[in-house]
Structures are given as structure tokens and as C-alpha cells.
Amino acid sequence: MGERTPTLRARGLTKVYRTGEVEVHALRGLDLVLETGELVVLLGPSGSGKSTLLNILGGLDTATGGEAWFLDHELSKLDDAGLTRYRREHVGFVFQFYNLIPSLTAVENVALVTEIARNPMAPDEALRLVGLGERLHHFPAQLSGGEQQRVAIARAIAKRPDILLCDEPTGALDSQTGILVLEAIERIHEELGTSTVLITHNAVIADMADRVLVMGDGRVHEERRNATRRPARELTW
Amino acid sequence: MNRPLYMKLVRDLWRLRGQVLAIALVMASGIAVLVMSLTTVESLEETAIAYYERYGFAQVFAQVERAPEHLRDRMREIPGVRAVETRVVHTAVLDIDGFDEPVIGKLVSVPERTEARLNRLALRQGRMPRLGAPDEAVLNEPFAQSHHLEVGDKLRAVINGRWRILTVVGIALSPEYVYAIGPGALMPDDKRFGVLWMGHEALQAAFDLDGAFNDASLTLLRGTNPEGVVERVDRLLAGYGGVGAYAQADQLSNWFLMSEIAQHRKLSTILPTIFLAVAAFLLHMVMGRLIAVERSEIGLLKAFGYRNRDIALHYTRFVLGIGLVGVALGWFIGYWLGLYHTRLYAEFYHFPFLNFRPSAQSFLLAALVSLGAALIGALGAVREAAALPPAQAMQPPAPPMFRKTVLGRLGFVERLDQPTRILLRQIGRWPVRSFFTAAGIAMSVAVLVTSMQWLDAINHMVDVYFLDAQGQDLSVSFGQARSSEVVRDLARLPGVMSVEPMRSVAAKVRSGWHEEREAIQGLPANQALYRVYDAKGRALALPPEGVVISTMLAKMLGVDVGDRITVEVLEGRRPVFEVPVVETFETYIGSPAYMEIGALDRLMRERPSVTAVHLRIDSRYRDRLFRELKNTPSITAVTVREAAVQTFRDTMAQTIMIFISFFIVFACTLAFGVTYNAARISLSERGRELATLRVLGFTRAEISYILLGEVALLTFVALPLGCLIGYGLASMLVRAFETELYRVPMVILATTYGWAIAIGLAATAVSALLVRRRVDRLDLIAVLKTRE
Ligand SMILES: Nc1ncnc2c1ncn2[C@@H]1O[C@H](COP(=O)(O)OP(=O)(O)O)[C@@H](O)[C@H]1O
Ligand SMILES: [Mg+2]
């Protein structure tokens, strides 16, 4: 694995937000490598720059300085259209607040992505993968929080992305439902071999990762590798 | 199209159906007025042209005293002339059973041996007059209808001083008398004026015009300039008492018809512009809000790899969706209004047929203009959506910045209760939107003021023109100038209390290269009955020398007080003289020129003569007087003032009331659309805030107050603004409607403002009530649970 080009690399990433007079340094020279097929959990207190990093890696935002690479494409060199193509073809996102389109049913929310992807799976197949084969035609308002989040996961992976980026996917859920969602992510990671970055501030979740990065103050403070990954089903908090 | 996005589009349109409909209705109003006006104009024009062509309506007309028949060939030799018809045309007093007042008939000859070359009749019933039956007549249909005369009926007429009994053999319409206006009248009055077609040879004999004619009409070869022909005809007929030839454009009936169509055309631009502008603004507001609500969805779509243009396209489709609902409604309403309206006009004009085949063009134009306006309105919002950076869009928007306003610093806000404070800050927070909401409501009030202003204006015109200015009960006119002895004769008739002479002289007035046909009217220096009256209500004394002309004529001639104008008289000895303009005055109707009657007689180099006498009568002797007048030969018109007022009112009301009622409905949709959307948007933006307040213990009424109080406050600002804009709009329309015949005065009564405000308030209240129902049903749990 080590010989191959990593899926994502970042070197010396900085991000400065300017709001009027105030400058916020969200990232301060961050280095990172995501190997192909790896599941990385990103820990860190609120405001440490996790979402900022994820947004840059996912091509939602651009860094102020430093470099970010996807395979051998330098993300920081892509323009808006290039980033859009990158997101469309390679990245799947899952967010804390599900962000489903309320006026579309579960299967339509997934189709929203498969319609523009190159080699997608069928929307109902993606929903079956996350255990929602029975809920295809429900609107978001008719689904529980956990179910909504699983629709969001199905939507993220239906295009068979190279990278799955999850920003606090369990943040709004109770532990039982949270574990169901994590199981779905785990299953996708195993069955499709998707490189996955999962943000959380729940340290327990770190046990399901190949590798854990702890962020603080816009940098990676600490890195550790788990000898074995614990299945999501066994986590409790 | 991407199916999920399509589903989203359809469902979002359905979810926002209230607002979609409100905007679509405003757009539809604009489209409907546009389609209605365009199709009406198109149909009337097409019908008129087809009518003119099918029945050979002449293009040049001339009247003479008496000209020998052989002049017809001379006229035909004028280059560009295609056909010439010579006729005998004369007025006669008619006596119709069951109608006291004398009726004026215009007798027009038609050839007995052949079909008429020009100005043919559309025979509706019966047949044409036969040779050797000199008492057969064909009646103008509206005239026949208003007196219930049918084929076979008889009527009495004084023809050249002798009573004759005429038999109705046919009923017809003519392109020459679409508007049948009697001599001296302003409006058609089918009871008191009618056209009768009789055999040419019969009329020649009756009026001692054997081998001669007194009326000529010509048609021209394609591409011939009528002005040149008019001049040649004038020169040819000058020696035979010609009073000036004129082209079709100046023919009375056609002139009326065309100015009416022109007014419609003007209307087709002004009002739709207002409606479409408001619709554009509403779309701007609603799309801005929709995109704010869907911020995170937009961010999400972008996160998935949807391109900026996909997003722009999606929201453009949303706008077009609303637009298409508006277009469909507008087309539908516009088509029916156009048809209804055209039919109404066709009936009013008595067209023998109607071409209502609106072209696709009008509809396409309306759709393009309105969709264009919609897209322009939504452009900003759509652009904003496309440009939203995805990472930012995913985050909830920062709470809007509220600042202490000037009012706050004055310590004024501190003394108000909390809900009122929230309400005022909300307006201060969105000043532009608040302004547009107020402007939208103001526009609807303005449309109401403008449309209802017409009634005030007509009443004012009637008051000034007929009631204040004219003190006579009755006017008697003669075809040719009569010795002023006739004034004394009339004064001796039973019931006549006072008399006043008037002399009207056909003339061309000139200044520099400006030339107008305008009769010079002679009146006593100080008139007691028929007064020269300024629009401001000032009676004018006529100076011993020089003319007093209307400001309209002064404008047409480009002259001012102190300038001299040339008068070329077209009758009698045809003198040409120069006179100074002594004074000008404002008048609503026509472009008259007055002169002291004695001065006019002197310039004419004639003994004192009159063409009309104004009478004041004792109403107890009315019937006797009418009987006497019917027996007076050479009278060409008897105008009863009261009847003239009535016809004027009726005619104006007929056409204008229809418009007013349309506009009241449209203005209501405007007010409704604006307030409903404003309140709905506030509700959507502040649902969370309002629900939180409810949780904190505020009552439903207080919540409604915060939300609807804002609309109410804006409405109260809007009402006076609307009255102001209405005034401006009315003066714009009044100017647009100004014709040489009449100018609608700019008069708006307080009650009109009152009604406009009341109707505007009612429309606003209805939409507020609809929103209020939503506020009452506000689901506290659901609102607090969702993120946005
Ligand atoms: N759009 C933004 N504008 C200004 N500051 C921002 C913006 N997004 C994030 N920040 C700031 O950047 C820092 C890092 O934020 P974020 O990456 O969201 O942290 P985390 O996800 O770890 O909680 C925080 O201090 C946050 O306030
Ligand atoms: Mg975060």
C-alpha cells in the first residue's frame, strides 16, 4: 500500500478567514496523508479547524496557502469548474445535519447525485446498502434523524466515490442511532474500499479507524494507528 | 432535465402555490391588459380596413354648393385618382311618430341605375331605392333601431321646404358613418340624427340639382398621396362653392374611429408596464427569499458537483414556472377580455361583421415581455444562488445585523412595547424591501386613482362645457348662412324667452406653414346663452376686433397672443384676411376660434347673418315649439342641450366604465399580490423567531401584530404615496389621451382618493387575513426542531 500514491495529501495548508477587521487562522500549516482505502478519524475540539480541513480536501473551499493533492492533481490549482468536476466525480459528503432536500423522497435525494455521476449504483441499491430498502419513497419529514442520515450516506456513496468525507455524521444523533449510521459507513468502507475521513469529537468513535488524527489550533497535534479496528457495532457511549 | 431537480421544482412550486399564484395573477393582469389591448386594436383595425375595402370607402371627400356633373370627369383625370362618385347630400328635418323633438336626417344619394362605385352600403334588410320611386329611403341601422323603424314604415321629412312622406325600403350600414355624428354634435346620438339614403336622381330633383352634384368622393390608386389630390380637387371646385376637400384621415367618422384605436394602443403600453414591473419586483423578493431558505440545499448540490449554471438554470426554471402560470392565465383572460371588448366596440360602431382573429404575435409579444420582466426581476437572486460558495452556503446564515436606528437614538423606540420594537426594527433592517412593498401597494392605489379619475373628469367636463358654459336650452342651426332677421322670427315663436345669434364660417386658418381647417365662430361680445368659457370657469368677452382662440388651436398653429393669423374663408365671397390673436383660452373640447359676430360680418363683407340661433325657452311650451320648428324649412339641426349632455355622458360612460371596472379588479390583484407575498416572506423568514416568542408566552394576537403590523404600517405609508403616484399617472394618461377633439381634464375628487384607499385597504386586509390563518397554525415544535 505504501508504494502507491496516497489518495489525498496536504502540505503546509493554511486557511485564514477574514470577517471585516478580524482574521481567524483556522488552519496553520497542516500536513496530512490519506492512503487509499484507509479509514481515518479526525478528532479535535470545536473550532480546531476540522470542518475547514474537510471542506478544502473535498473541494468545497480553497486554502489560503499550502498544497493539497488528490492523487496527482493539485487541488489548489483547480478553478471553480475544476473543483466542481472533482467533487462530482470523486467525493462523497455526509454532513451533521443530513441536509436532505425536503421536497424530494429518499430515493429522489439519492438520484440527485446518481443523475450526474459517471458510474453510479442504482439509488435503491445504495439505500439498501444503508438498510433503508423499505423507505425508498418517504420524504425526509417522514424519516427519523438516523434514517435521514443514512439516506445522506446512501446519497454520498451512490456514485462510488474515491473519497467519503463525513463531518460529524453522528453529531445530531443519540448513541444507538449513531451506531447504526457508523455501521453504514463502515460497511461502505469495507464493501467499496472507499478512502474515508470521519470527523467527530467523540473519542470513542476513534476505535473504528485505521488511523486517528487529533487536531488542535489548526494543526495535527497527534497521530496514532489502531492495531485493530473495533467494529462500530461494539462501540458504546 | 435532471429528474430529481425537476421533481423538486414541481413540488416547490406547489408548496409555494399561494405566492406563486399571487405573483402569477399580477403578471396575468399585465398580460391580460396587453393581450386585450393588442387584440382589440388589431381586430378593430382589421375590421375597419376590411369594412372600408369591401364597401369602397372613399379616400378623398369634397363638398360644394353646386357643381355640374361634367366636373366628375375632370376629377377623374387628376393623376392618382381611381374612381369618382358624385352625390347629392343634404340635411332635412324629420318627424317621427312618438318622438316630439325634431330629428335631423342627412339625406345621401345613391345611384338608382347601377351599384354605387364608392361608399357602398352594407344592406341589412330590404332593398335599395328604385328608379322612379323618389320617396323610398334606406335608413342607417342604428337610427332605425333607436326608433324601432322597420322596412315598410313611413316617416315625414321636410325636403327643400316641402313635407314629404318617405317609405323605408331598406336598412343598411355604411363605412362612411361608423360614427354617425350630426351637425354641431359632439357624440353620436342615434335618436336625433340619422342617415337616409335615397335615389340620386330623386334627390337631384328634390334639391334642384339636375345635372349637378354637391358632394364628391374619390378613391386613389395605390401609393398616391391624398394631399396632392385634395389640392387639385380644391382648385377644381373652388369656383362652385367648394368648402375645402379633405382626405380620409380627416373624415369625421374615420377620424373618431382611428383616434379611439390610437387611444387603445397607448393604453396597451402604460398599464401592462406597471403590472409587469410590480411582478418583476415580487419575483425579486420571492426568489431572494427562496434562495435564502435553500442556501444549504444549494451548497449541498454544489458539494455533489452540480455546476453554477445548473443551479442558475434550476432557479431560472422556477421563475419561468411562475411566469408560465402567469402567461397561461393572462392569455386566457386576455383572449376573453379582448373578444368581449372587441364585440362591445363592434356593437358600438355597428360594424356589419367582425374580424376577431387575434394573431399569435400579440400573444407571443405579451409572453415574451412578461417572461422577460420576470427574468429581469429574478436575475439578482438567481445570480446570487449561482455564486454562493458551497462551503459557506452549508453554514446557517449569520443572524441579520440589527442596529439602533436614528429613531432609537432619539429614545423613541425605548418607550414602545417589545412587539412594536421588533416590528420597527424589521422595517429598518430591510429598508429596500420595505420600500418596494410600500411602492407595490402604492402602485395599486395609483391604478385605482387613475382609473376612477375618468369619472371625475367626465363629470367635470360636462359641468364646465355643458352646464356652466351653455345657458341655452336649444340651438337651431341652418345649413347656410341666413339673414339675421331669422333671429327675430325665432324670438317670436311660442315659449321663446331669449335668443342669441351665432355665425359659423368654414375657413382655413394659417400661420407660417401651419394650416388648420377650423370654423370661425361669431358670437355677441358678451354672450348670455352660449358662452365662451375658459376651462377654469371664466366667461370671456369678445373684443371688437381680432380672434379669441383656444390654446389647442394656438398650439396647432404655433401662435401666441399678439401674433397675427391668416383666415382663408371657404364660403361666400371667400375673403382672405389677417387678424390678431387677442386672447387664448383653455377648453376641453375641440379647438375653436371665436370672433365678435359684427366684426366677422364685416370681414365677410356681408350683411349681418347667422348660421345658428341659441334659445332659452319656457319648458311649458316645449312641444308647441318643437312642432313649429319641425315646420321651419332650412333648419338643419335642433340641438337640445339636455339631450346632448345625456348622450355625451352615455357615450363616454359606455367605453370608459368597462375599462374602469377591469382596472379595479386588476388593481386589487396587485395590492393582494404584493401584501400577500410580503407577509408570507416575513413569515417564512421569521417563523422561528415568532415561534420562539410564542414559546416565551406571547399570544397569537401579539405574534400577528408583529408580522402583520409591519404590512399595515407599510400600507399606511403606501396609501398617500399611492394617491400621489396616482395623480402623476393620471396626468400622464390624460396627456396620452389628448386628442384634437377633446382633452380630458385633470380632476380628481377627494371621494376618488377615498375609494381608491378603501379598495386598496380591503385587498390588503384580505391577504393579511390569509396569512394570519397561517400564523395561527404555526407549529411550534416543528419550527423549533428544524435548523433554519
Ligand atoms: N466562514 C467562516 N468565516 C469566518 N470564520 C470561520 C468560518 N468558518 C470557520 N471559521 C472559523 O474557523 C475556525 C475553525 O472552524 P471549523 O473548521 O468549523 O472548526 P471545527 O469544525 O473544528 O469546529 C473557527 O474559529 C471558526 O470560527
Ligand atoms: Mg465543524
Q: What is the pLDDT of residue A219?
A: 92
pLDDT of residue B428: 74
Question: How far is CA B132 from each of CA B129, B188, B202, B206, B327, rounded to the nearest angstrom?
Answer: 9, 32, 8, 13, 62
Judged by CB atoms closer than 8 Å, whether chains meet at A60 and B303 is answered as yes
Q: Which amino acid is at B594?
A: Y
Q: Which atom of ligand 1 is nearest to the CA of A215?
A: 22
Checking DSSP bridges between strand A8-19 and strand A22-34, what pairing results, if any?
Answer: antiparallel
Among A15, A24, A219, say which to mutate for ligand 1: greatest number of ligand atoms within 8 Å of CB. Answer: A24
What the block records as the C-alpha cell of B187 is 357624440
Nearest to B734 by CA among B408, B451, B335: B451
> Is any Cβ of chain A less than 8 angstroms from the Cβ of B17?
no
The whole-number pLDDT of residue A201 equals 84
Per-residue pLDDT, B33: 85
B343, pLDDT greater than 90: no
Asked, for residue A25, whether it belongs to a domain, the answer is no
pLDDT tens digits along B43-67: 889 999 999 999 999 999 999 989 9
Contact A60 B2 (CB under 8 A): no
Residues, chain B: 788
**Model pLDDT, residue A1:** 43
Interface residues from chain A to B (CB-CB < 8 Å): 55, 58, 60-61, 80-81, 84-89, 91, 93, 95, 97, 99, 101, 103-104, 108-109, 111-113, 115-117, 155
- Of all atoms in ligand 1, which is nearest to the CA of residue A54? 17
Confidence of residue B679 (pLDDT cuts 50, 70, 90): confident
Closest CB to A95: pick one of B2, B307, B394. B394
**Is the CB of B2 less than 8 angstroms away from the CB of A116?**
yes
User: Residue A162 burial by CB count (10 A; 0-12/13-18/19+): exposed, middle or buried?
Assistant: buried
In tens, the pLDDT along B17-46 reads: 888 888 888 889 888 888 988 888 888 899
Give the minimum alpha-carbon distance from A81 to chain B in angstroms, rounded to a whole number.
Answer: 7
pLDDT digits (tens, 9 = 90+) for B78-125: 999 999 999 999 988 888 888 888 888 999 999 999 889 999 999 999
Q: How far is B380 from chain A (nearest CA, A)?
A: 20
**Closest alpha carbon to A168 in B306, B295, B394:** B394
Q: Quick check: is A14 in a domain?
A: no
pLDDT on residue B597 = 94
Q: What is the pLDDT of residues B664-678, one digit of tens each?
A: 888 888 888 888 888
CB atoms within 10 A of CB A73: 13
| Residue-level pLDDT, tens digit, chain A, 237 residues | 445 789 999 999 999 998 778 899 999 999 999 999 999 999 999 899 999 999 899 988 889 999 999 998 999 899 888 888 898 889 998 888 777 888 888 998 898 888 888 889 999 999 988 888 898 999 888 888 889 988 998 998 898 899 999 998 888 888 888 898 899 899 889 988 899 999 998 889 999 999 999 999 899 999 999 999 899 889 888
Domain membership flag for residue A124: yes
Number of domains in chain A: 1
Residue with the nearest Cα to atom 6 of ligand 1? Answer: A17
The answer to whether residue B614 neighbours chain A at the CB level (below 8 Å) is no
CB–CB contact A95 B11 (8 Å): no
For A9, the grid coordinates are 495529501
Is the sign of the CA dihedral B167, B171, B175, B177 positive or negative?
positive
Q: Specify the pLDDT at position A33.
A: 93
C-alpha distances out from residue A108 to A76, A121, A122, B6, B445, Å: 33, 14, 11, 10, 46
Q: How many CB atoms lie within 10 A of CB B119?
A: 22
A104 to chain B: closest CA residue: B8
Q: What is the pLDDT of residue A2?
A: 45
Task: Record the pTM.
Answer: 0.74
Q: How confident is the model over B648-655, as a mean pLDDT? A: 74
Q: What is the DSSP letter of B742?
A: B
User: According to the model, what pLDDT value does residue B783 have?
Assistant: 54
Query: Can you tell me the distance from the alpha carbon of B451 to that of B755, in angstroms, rounded to the nearest whole number?
Result: 11
Segment A193-208, tens digit of pLDDT: 899 999 998 889 999 9
* Percent of chain B predicted with pLDDT > 90: 32
Cα–Cα distance, A19 to A2 (Å, whole number): 41
Q: Please report which confidence band the pLDDT of residue B399 belongs to, taking 50, 70 and 90 as the band edges.
A: low
Q: Does residue A41 lie within any of the structural domains?
A: yes
Mean pLDDT, range B493-522, rounded to an integer:
90
Domain spans of chain B, in order of start: 89-208, 496-617
For residue B395, is pLDDT > 80?
no
For residue A136, CA distances in Å to A111, A148, B762 come to 11, 11, 47
Q: Which of A37-46, B395-404, B511-520 has the lowest mean pLDDT?
A: B395-404
> DSSP string covering B141-192, please?
HHHHHHTT--TT-EEEEEETTEEEEEEEEEEEE-GGGSS---TT-SS--TTT
CA distances to A157, B327, B402, B592, B641 from B462, in Å: 80, 40, 56, 17, 11
CB contact under 8 A, B305 and A116: yes
Q: Which of A13, A46, A51 to mutate to test the pocket of ligand 1 (most atoms within 8 A of CB)?
A: A51
Phi, psi of B184 (to 5 degrees): 80, -5
For residue A47, the ligand closest to its alpha carbon is 1
Structural domain boundaries enclosing A145? 37-65+80-234
Q: Are B134 and B198 within 8 A, CB to CB?
A: yes
Q: Which long-range contacts (CB under 8 A, 24 or more apart) does B334-339 make?
A: B334/B31, B334/B32, B334/B33, B334/B34, B334/B35, B334/B36, B334/B39, B334/B363, B334/B366, B335/B35, B335/B39, B335/B363, B337/B32, B337/B35, B337/B36, B337/B662, B338/B35, B338/B36, B338/B38, B338/B39, B338/B40, B338/B43, B339/B39
Asked whether residue A49 is domain-assigned, the answer is: yes
**Residue A214's CB: how many other CB atoms inside 10 A?**
18
- Ligand 1, atom 2, lies closest to the CA of A17
Structural domain contains residue A16: no
Closest-CA distance of chain A to residue B682, Å: 21
Angle at B434 between CA B429 and CA B437, to 5 degrees: 160
How high is the mean pLDDT of chain B?
Answer: 85
Other C-beta atoms lying within 10 Å of the C-beta of residue B346: 18
CB contact under 8 Å between B4 and A61, yes or no, is no
Name the residue with cell 435503491: A124
Residue of B4, B297, B390 with shortest CB distance to A60: B390
Q: What is the distance between the alpha carbons of residues B14 and B2, in angstroms, rounded to a whole number?
A: 18
Instruction: Measure A184 CA to ligand 1 centroid, in angstroms.
Output: 28
Q: Which residue of B has its CA nearest to A81?
A: B307
Establish if B387 touches chain A: CB-CB under 8 angstroms.
no
Residue-wise over A116-152: b if at least 16 C-beta within 10 A, else e? bbeebbebbebbebbebeebbebbbeebebbbbbbbb
What pLDDT shows up at residue B788? 40
Please give the ipTM for the structure prediction. Answer: 0.77
Would you say residue B409 has pLDDT above 80? no
- Does the pLDDT of residue B233 top 80, yes or no? yes
Among the ranges A219-233, B179-193, B618-632, which has the highest mean pLDDT value? A219-233
Give the dihedral of Cα atoms A51, A54, A60, A66; nearest 10 deg.
110
Q: At what angle do helices B308-349 and B295-303 cross, to 10 degrees?
A: 130
**Ligand 1 centroid distance, CA of A215 (Å):** 13
User: Residue A184 is part of a domain; what is its CATH number?
Assistant: 3.40.50.300
pLDDT digits (tens, 9 = 90+) for B459-486: 887 887 777 778 888 888 887 788 888 8
Q: Are B293 and B687 in contact (CB under 8 A)?
A: no
Closest residue to B8, CB basis, from A85, A86, A103:
A103
Residues of B in contact with A115 (CB under 8 A): 2-5
Report the distance separating Cα B769 and Cα B783, nearest Å. Answer: 21
Q: Could you tell me which of A191, A211, A194, A156 has the C-alpha nearest to residue A33? A: A211
CA neighbor of B546 nearest in space, from B505, B606, B514, B593: B593
**A156 CA: distance to closest CA in chain B (Å):** 8
Q: Give the chain B residue whose CA is nearest to the CA of A60.
A: B391
pLDDT band of B701, cuts 50, 70, 90 = confident
Residues with CB under 6 A from ligand 1: A 17, 19, 24, 26, 44, 46-52; B 392
